[in-house]
């Protein structure tokens, strides 16, 4: 697999493309409705036009992209931001603590479901999020990498929560 910055670059390109007013609305609607069971033709078009082969070499990787593109489409047009205030942990600080606890405990299919739910929560508050971190969580899911990413999310959450309390 290629490196983290390559994955983050792909995410940024996809977010820009999906958030563009030129991206077909019908395709966006299909991406919002898609499931792992039946990805629509727009999914395959986006996957093969914008995602390097190194990130789509098997069914597991394709399923990761289904989760990511579905969540990103749900949030369009304000999808992605790498600003510290839009880190996954910082965004979770805007929601009840049970949300992040459930997210941090989730694995495999449950993690995909939690990412989709998180996208809905983000759009309900009109908050873009760092999709690069979510992509890393799916693609670098060996136990050691997953644990490190989740620890970083938890640390960002604690720091953001502390800032909110200091302001209040």
Q: What is the pLDDT of residues 118-150, one digit of tens each?
A: 999 999 999 999 999 999 999 987 878 999 999
- 51 with 10: CB under 8 angstroms? yes
Please indicate whether residue 36 or residue 74 has the higher confidence score (pLDDT).
74
Task: State percent of the chain over pLDDT 70.
Answer: 98
- Domain borders along the chain are 4-167
Among 90, 66, 33, smallest CA distance to 138 is for 66
Burial class (CB in 10 A: 0-12, 13-18, 19+), 124: exposed
DSSP-based three-state secondary structure for 129: strand
Q: Where are the alpha helices (DSSP H) in the chain?
A: 4-19, 25-33, 41-50, 59-75, 88-92, 97-105, 108-124, 131-139, 143-167
Confidence of residue 5 (pLDDT cuts 50, 70, 90): confident
Average pLDDT, the chain: 94
The structure tokens listed for 72 are 């990103």
Q: Is 108 left (phi over 0), alpha (psi -120 to 50) or beta?
A: left
Most confident by average pLDDT, 1-15, 60-74, 128-142: 60-74
Identify whether 77 is preceded by a cis peptide bond (ω within 30 of 0): yes
What CATH class is the domain 4-167? Answer: mainly alpha
Confidence of residue 164 (pLDDT cuts 50, 70, 90): confident
Please tell me the distance from the alpha carbon of residue 2 to that of residue 145, in angstroms, as a whole number: 15
DSSP letter, residue 80: B
68-121 residue pLDDT tens: 999 999 999 999 999 999 999 999 999 999 999 999 999 988 999 999 999 999
pLDDT of residue 168 exceeding 80, the answer is no
């Amino acid at each position: 697999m290629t490196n983290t910055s390559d994955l983050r670059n792909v995410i940024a390109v996809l977010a820009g493309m999906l958030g563009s007013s030129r991206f077909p609305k019908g395709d966006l609607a299909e991406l919002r409705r898609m499931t792992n069971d039946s990805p629509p033709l727009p999914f395959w078009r986006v996957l093969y036009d914008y995602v390097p082969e190194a990130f789509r070499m098997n069914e597991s990787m394709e399923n990761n992209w289904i989760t990511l593109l579905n969540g990103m489409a749900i949030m369009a047009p304000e999808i992605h931001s790498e600003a510290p205030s839009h880190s996954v942990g910082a965004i979770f600080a805007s929601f009840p603590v049970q949300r992040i606890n459930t997210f941090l405990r989730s694995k495999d299919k449950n993690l995909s479901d939690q990412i989709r739910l998180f996208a809905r929560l983000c759009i309900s508050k009109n908050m873009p999020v760092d999709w690069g971190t979510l992509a890393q969580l799916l693609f670098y899911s060996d136990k050691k990498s997953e644990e490190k990413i989740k620890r970083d999310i938890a640390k960002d959450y604690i720091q953001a929560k502390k800032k909110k309390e200091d302001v209040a």
